Structure 1
Amino acid sequence: MFLMIFVNDVEDVPGVPQWIKHVGENADGLGLADTIFPAFLFIVGLSIPFAFQSRIVRGDTRLLKRIFTRSFALIFIGFFHSNMETYNEAIAKLPKPVWESLVTFGFFFLFLDYSRFKKYKRYLFQGFGAALIIAMSALYKTSEPGHTWLHFSWWGILGLIGWAYLYCALIYYYSKGALWVQAAFWLFFMFLNIDIHFGWFDFLSKTYNYLWMAGNGAMQSFTMAGIFVAVLYMRLSKEKELRMLWVGMLLMAVILFNLGFIVRLYSGGISKARDTPSWVLICTGISLVAYLFFVLLVDVWKKYKLFKPIEPAGTNTFTCYLVPFLFYPAYEMSNLGYPEVLSEGMGGLIKCIVFSFVMVWIAGLLAKINVRLKI
């Protein structure tokens, strides 16, 4: 989450090393920014078995309901975020920063953690949030050709996460965490992505954005990889055979890297923008290696305290993601600017790093006063 905020902020800063940013849409390459979203989806998958196990231990019998409500919330917000990109303030009644701020406040009121609130306050605040979202929907105007109102263009980052979570969590739930099932579906999504890029399923292409896949299998592949690794970790940890994890993960990473560079020659190169198979395979391999590094750092060397400065990014992740959507509109409305030294080059890079820390710390401070989003 920390790096997601960072790469989003640094994208428009001139003069910083190009390897930090996304590569071009038609380029064959991989920047740091191109690896962050896959890693986030991988972590979503990692979290599912542990979260389910925790809820089962607490006697929670509403897992299925939680899967659907959480997925809907992510897809719902993602839909509005995608529409933010084409909001046309020239024909709308509200300036774009105002509209974005009010929509984000609506999300806060709708999805605030109300566990410590009395019921009437919860219903009052959620009702206000719903009314705010409805009002902003009514006022929305777009610059998208062929549309005048809220419309589908793509699912947005949160929407893609929501779809991946929905399908992968359901697979884990109905398979009761069987390791071979997680492996089978990981391979299924991975090879489906390869097949689609080779053109074998072109007759279904018009349905992908609207029906079951919400894309071409890439997002689900990352998430299923995370679920598989978490289940494997839990099993090996229980059997006190974690050393086997190192062998298995490194071997899989080597296979994925090699397969990724082979497929690269035949399927449009490495491209996040086009969800190419080589991008999926290589980024999954990177996530596996990164995961092993953190297992070593936290489980073996016990260095968890190293992450304390950005802990809210993990413990208050949803809030952390939405906080910049309040900052950016406020910054635009203020007409303030950064000194030139902080607007480009090394100064701009340092500014983006500091900004990422500040967003995470704000999420942490909000949590301390019980302002924490929960879906």
Structure 2
Amino acid sequence: MKALKERYLSLDVLRGLTLFLMIIVNTPGSWATIYKPLHHAHWHGFTLTDLVFPTFLFVVGNAMSFSMRKFEALGSAAFLKKVFKRTFLIFLIGFLLYWFPFVKDGHLKPLAETRIFGVLQRIALCYCFASLIIYYWKAKGALIFSIVALVGYHILMYAFGDYTMEGNAAIKTDLWLIGADHMYKGEGFPFDPEGLLSTLPSIVNVIVGYFAGAFLQKNGKNYETIAKLMMAGAVLTFAALGWDLLFPINKKIWTSSYVLLTVGIDLMVIAVLVYVIELLNKKSWTYFFEVLGKNPLFIYILSGIFATILFSVPMGDTSAYGWIAHHVFMSWMGDYFGSLMFALVFAMVLWGIAYFMDKKKIYIKV
């Protein structure tokens, strides 16, 4: 049991680190003044921010490698009930976050104009399909699925559209199946970066996370294991750069080259974390991220609710969110640094809540 707990420490740290970065990326003081590494690539390309979401999926798969043994002992019926219940709840929570605060101008916000898919919804779907694939098709089947999904997605995107934001096959699929009213409009027109078709390759991020966790459990924490994870990550990263020449690295349509790049980096990151935390036993710095990693879903939901409430409260000619960002931070720290400090303080408030929950042994799971 001790070894299992130690492996979970690396997992909690990676999960907490990813969540911390996600909160900072999602809540700048102003979207107009953000340092370049905290921007998503506008279209083709890659930034540090583009690593955050796929890493969260990778961690979901990593955790799945520990829970799958329990699922196998439950039997098929209990397994399906557990997976479908968790999928439904996470998807529903994600949808309700977009609908929140439910009322606009004194009237109930119409469901017909509410976005259906998003970050939590993608996590739910990827978790569901990856669980089913691994449970029923085992490791070999999951590997075959991953190859077919990535190659097949490239073929679909090439055959039924181009690689522009307006003309790709993913947006065409979403407009047909979801409808413009239920899609993200942040690009100035209906385009959903977490739509249906682009969910297919993102399942692979979870599957590779599962393989990494299973590999660690099977081979143990030693230098050979770390070296193999690093080499696998380097090979996948190199392959991604090659595939980029044919199918450009792109987070918003989750291209196959983007999947290989992100899982390659994640394999190297988890290898470094296991080396530092488990082999070198350097753990004095880990608690900060471990706190967030123990209640990731709840803290992520709270961050969305907190930000929405601040945006919903009018203050002067702006919202409480904008007023605090400008008057408390940006007016004397400067636009860019003040915007970053607002995000950091916002994240630290949530960390404080996570810290309190950990001290009280309160862990909320779906």
Aligned residue in 1 for 2:201: 218
The separation in 2 between residues aligned to 1:372 and 1:155, in whole angstroms, is 26
The separation in 2 between residues aligned to 1:218 and 1:152, in whole angstroms, is 25
TM-score, normalised by the number of residues in structure 1: 0.72
The separation in 2 between residues aligned to 1:55 and 1:259, in whole angstroms, is 34
Matches within 5 A, 1:280-299: 280-299=259-278
Aligned residue in 2 for 1:365: 356
Report the CA distance shift for 1:234/1:80 in structure 2 as closer, same or farther (over 3 A).
same
The separation in 1 between residues aligned to 2:29 and 2:246, in whole angstroms, is 29
For the pair 1:249 / 2:220, whether they are aligned, the reply is no
Aligned residue in 2 for 1:80: 96
TM-score, normalised by the number of residues in structure 2: 0.74
Q: Is the 8 A contact 2:37 2:47 kept in 1?
A: yes
- Provide the aligned C-alpha RMSD in A: 3.3
For the pair 1:264 / 2:244, whether they are aligned, the reply is yes
Report the CA distance shift for 1:347/1:140 in structure 2 as closer, same or farther (over 3 A).
closer
Deviation at 1:321, TM superposition (A): 0.5
Residue by residue over 1:6-26, the C-alpha shift from the partner in whole angstroms, topping out at 9 and shown as x without a partner, is 1111384444421221121xx
Between stretches 56-65 and 273-282, larger displacement belongs to 56-65
Residue by residue over 1:145-197, the C-alpha shift from the partner in whole angstroms, topping out at 9 and shown as x without a partner, is xxxx345745110000000000001122224xx43333333323332332323
Code of the aligned partner of 2:239: L
The separation in 1 between residues aligned to 2:177 and 2:89, in whole angstroms, is 18
Aligned residue in 2 for 1:45: 61
1:330 corresponds, among 291, 305, 309, to 309
Matched residue SS, 2:159 = coil
The separation in 2 between residues aligned to 1:71 and 1:228, in whole angstroms, is 21
Code of the aligned partner of 1:182: A
Code of the aligned partner of 1:93: G
Code of the aligned partner of 1:158: L
Aligned residues: 311
Q: Is the 8 A contact 2:27 2:307 kept in 1?
A: no
Identity %: 22
1:93 corresponds, among 106, 110, 121, to 106
Aligned residue in 2 for 1:22: 40
The separation in 1 between residues aligned to 2:21 and 2:147, in whole angstroms, is 28
Report the CA distance shift for 1:296/1:59 in structure 2 as closer, same or farther (over 3 A).
farther
The separation in 1 between residues aligned to 2:214 and 2:296, in whole angstroms, is 22
Matches within 5 A, 1:173-252: 173-175=135-137, 178-199=138-159, 206=173, 214-216=196-198, 217-237=200-220, 242-252=222-232
The separation in 2 between residues aligned to 1:160 and 1:58, in whole angstroms, is 26
Report the CA distance shift for 1:82/1:259 in structure 2 as closer, same or farther (over 3 A).
farther
Residue by residue over 1:222-250, the C-alpha shift from the partner in whole angstroms, topping out at 9 and shown as x without a partner, is 1111011111221112xx7x444334323
The separation in 2 between residues aligned to 1:343 and 1:195, in whole angstroms, is 47
Aligned residue in 1 for 2:10: none
Q: Is the 8 A contact 1:42 1:224 kept in 2?
A: yes
For the pair 1:6 / 2:19, whether they are aligned, the reply is no
Matches within 5 A, 1:53-132: 53=69, 62-83=78-99, 89=104, 92-93=105-106
Aligned residue in 1 for 2:49: 33
Q: Is the 8 A contact 1:7 1:33 kept in 2?
A: yes
Code of the aligned partner of 1:275: W
Q: Is the 8 A contact 1:79 1:159 kept in 2?
A: yes
Code of the aligned partner of 1:43: V
Residue by residue over 1:313-334, the C-alpha shift from the partner in whole angstroms, topping out at 9 and shown as x without a partner, is 1111111111112322332326
2:117 corresponds, among 135, 143, 155, to 155
The separation in 1 between residues aligned to 2:149 and 2:30, in whole angstroms, is 33
Gaps of 5+ in 1: 95-138, 142-148
Report the CA distance shift for 1:140/1:347 in structure 2 as closer, same or farther (over 3 A).
closer
Code of the aligned partner of 2:156: I
Residue by residue over 1:286-311, the C-alpha shift from the partner in whole angstroms, topping out at 9 and shown as x without a partner, is 11111111111221122233121232
Deviation at 1:82, TM superposition (A): 4.1
The separation in 2 between residues aligned to 1:308 and 1:60, in whole angstroms, is 37
For the pair 1:170 / 2:123, whether they are aligned, the reply is no
Report the CA distance shift for 1:264/1:316 in structure 2 as closer, same or farther (over 3 A).
same
Report the CA distance shift for 1:331/1:81 in structure 2 as closer, same or farther (over 3 A).
closer
Q: Is the 8 A contact 2:234 2:268 kept in 1?
A: no
Between stretches 341-350 and 54-63, larger displacement belongs to 54-63
Between stretches 300-309 and 325-334, larger displacement belongs to 325-334
Deviation at 1:343, TM superposition (A): 6.6
The separation in 1 between residues aligned to 2:240 and 2:258, in whole angstroms, is 7
The separation in 1 between residues aligned to 2:240 and 2:361, in whole angstroms, is 45
Code of the aligned partner of 2:197: G
